[in-house]
Amino acid sequence: MMNHQEKSGPKSKIDFFDQAFTRNPFPVYSEIRREDPVYRFMMPSGEYAWIVTRYEDALAILKDPRFVTNPPWMQQEGPTDHHNILSKNLLSVGPADHRRLRNLVQKAFTPRMIEGLRGRIEEISNDLLDKVQNKGEMNLIEDFAFPLPIIVICEMLGVPIQDQDKFRDWSNTIMEGAYNPSYTEKGSKAVEAFISYLHGLITERRENPQNDLISDLIKTEEQGDKLSEQEMYALIFVLIIAGHETTVNLIGNGVLALLEFPEQKEKLLKQPELIHSAIEEILRYNGPAEASNIRWVTEAVEFQGKSILEGEMVLISFASANRDIEQFSDPDTLDITRQANQHLAFGKGIHYCLGAPLARLEGEIAISTLLRRMPGLRLKTDLAQLEWRPGIIIRGATEIPVVF
């Protein structure tokens, strides 16, 4: 492989990893869509990458088989370090492996199975709010948005709930390390601890199967369905990361959007049946995934007037595509009654988010329960003062102090 760090090209003037950008990236994305919609920038690693910002272009790349999450040269580099083990997951493997792995877990995420969790999710939501109701304030992330989905996914998988905080720490560190070289050592330690923990849990479940997803996966593996232990680590990893990261930030960003547009919050309070379209609009307006995972181009491509060379990295900005005025009228306004809302918050194509039905249900129940019990909810600080999580993939505030 050639060293893409040596390619010519102007150094990006936009720092996608700067906190000022992260706090409110939308005006910058609007400018890029207008001026240079397929934009070349420098990653923290020093390598150049492209970011695609318009809706139609995003769709085109998501469907184009030349843009892959698993380039051939990566499949050939085979050291079995911990990062490689976790990289062979649903988000990054090729179509054949993706179909096989997805089929193994799909039954746990059918609409019927997810709907069956409704009562339990309502119970967890109310339990969490019971703990803070009399205090009159809380950190929305710490006290509500984080524990709700981690409890749900831990119960589905069979992970003891007393270990939820470990998963939070590992998940945060691994996600933040994905595109930030300064986190590399910290990230490697988190991956190592995560795999070591899973190894113990899988060993225990082999000897003592339970009625949970990990036991089901072991059963499938023992029936000869070609699920290696490495694949099991990667599969559980992506279910935990995707199973709670998405929902934490759907709830957090959703509440912030409703507080930013108080008339929409009032409308939802008066018409709680609008929660379905409200969640879709929240996903469009400020969804939990700012950009796709990296794709690499397998051959030189001319795309929208740009020459993208073989081996170059491409990211799709869901945050930008979902605010494209060519696709959405008045895109910078939250409208919980918006119809035909074909946002890209969960991606498209074979890598469409497996956990989307669960995230939607958790988001609907969490926000409905919160508004019903705390209708006077408001931010304790100024919106501009909130700190946002680093990186360009996950979009969410680290803390959201609220009073009610």
Task: Give mean pLDDT, residues 200-223.
Answer: 86
User: What pLDDT is stored for residue 306 in this prediction?
Assistant: 97
* Strands 378-379 vs 401-403: parallel, antiparallel or unpaired: antiparallel
Using only C-alpha atoms, the chain has a radius of gyration, in whole angstroms, of 21
* Predicted TM-score (pTM) above 0.75: yes
pLDDT over 70, % of the chain:
86
In angstroms, the CA 288 to CA 118 distance is 21
In this structure, the number of other CB atoms found within 10 A of the CB of residue 305 comes to 8
Kindly report which listed range (107-121, 145-159, 235-249) carries the lowest average pLDDT score: 235-249
User: What pLDDT is stored for residue 80 in this prediction?
Assistant: 46
Nearest to 219 by CA among 105, 110, 86, 116: 105
Q: Residue 68 — φ and ψ, nearest 5°?
A: -120, 155
pLDDT bucket at 183, cuts 50 / 70 / 90: low
pLDDT over 90, % of the chain:
58
User: What pLDDT is stored for residue 45 in this prediction?
Assistant: 82
Task: Write the DSSP assignment of 197-234 as a string of letters.
Answer: HHHHHHHHHHHS--SSHHHHHHHHHHTT----HHHHHH
Rounded to the nearest 10 degrees, the angle between the axes of helix 118-132 and helix 147-157 is 140
Structure tokens at 151: 């409890």
The domain in which residue 399 lies consists of: 4-403
What mean pLDDT is reported for the chain? Answer: 86
Total residue count of the chain as it appears in this document: 404
User: What pLDDT is stored for residue 71 in this prediction?
Assistant: 77
Through-space distance between the first and last CA atoms of the chain, rounded to whole angstroms: 56
Residue 10 has pLDDT above 50, yes or no: no
pLDDT bucket at 316, cuts 50 / 70 / 90: very high
Residue 98 has pLDDT above 80, yes or no: no
Residues linked to residue 301 through DSSP beta bridges, in sequence order? 308
Structure tokens at 159: 């992970």
Kindly report which listed range (3-7, 308-312, 336-340, 344-348) carries the lowest average pLDDT score: 3-7
190 contacts 247 by C-beta, under 8 angstroms: no
pLDDT bucket at 8, cuts 50 / 70 / 90: very low
Greatest distance between any 2 Cα atoms in the chain: 61
Count structural domains, the chain.
Answer: 1
Place of tokens 């997951």: 89
Kindly report which listed range (83-97, 230-244, 256-270) carries the lowest average pLDDT score: 83-97
Segment 366-375, tens digit of pLDDT: 999 999 999 9
118 contacts 361 by C-beta, under 8 angstroms: yes
CATH number, domain with residue 25: 1.10.630.10
pLDDT bucket at 397, cuts 50 / 70 / 90: very high
User: What pLDDT is stored for residue 91 in this prediction?
Assistant: 57
Residue 218 has pLDDT above 70, yes or no: yes
In angstroms, the CA 402 to CA 225 distance is 48
Residue 110 has pLDDT above 70, yes or no: yes
Task: Give mean pLDDT, residues 251-275.
Answer: 98
In angstroms, the CA 247 to CA 37 distance is 29
User: What pLDDT is stored for residue 238 in this prediction?
Assistant: 79
Segment 48-95, tens digit of pLDDT: 999 999 999 999 999 999 998 877 776 544 444 545 555 555 555 566
User: What pLDDT is stored for residue 92 in this prediction?
Assistant: 56
Higher-confidence position of 108 and 124: 124
* Highest-pLDDT range among 70-84, 343-357, 378-392: 378-392
Structure tokens at 9: 């090209």
What strand order describes the sheet that includes 137-139?
A: 137-139, 401-403, 378-379
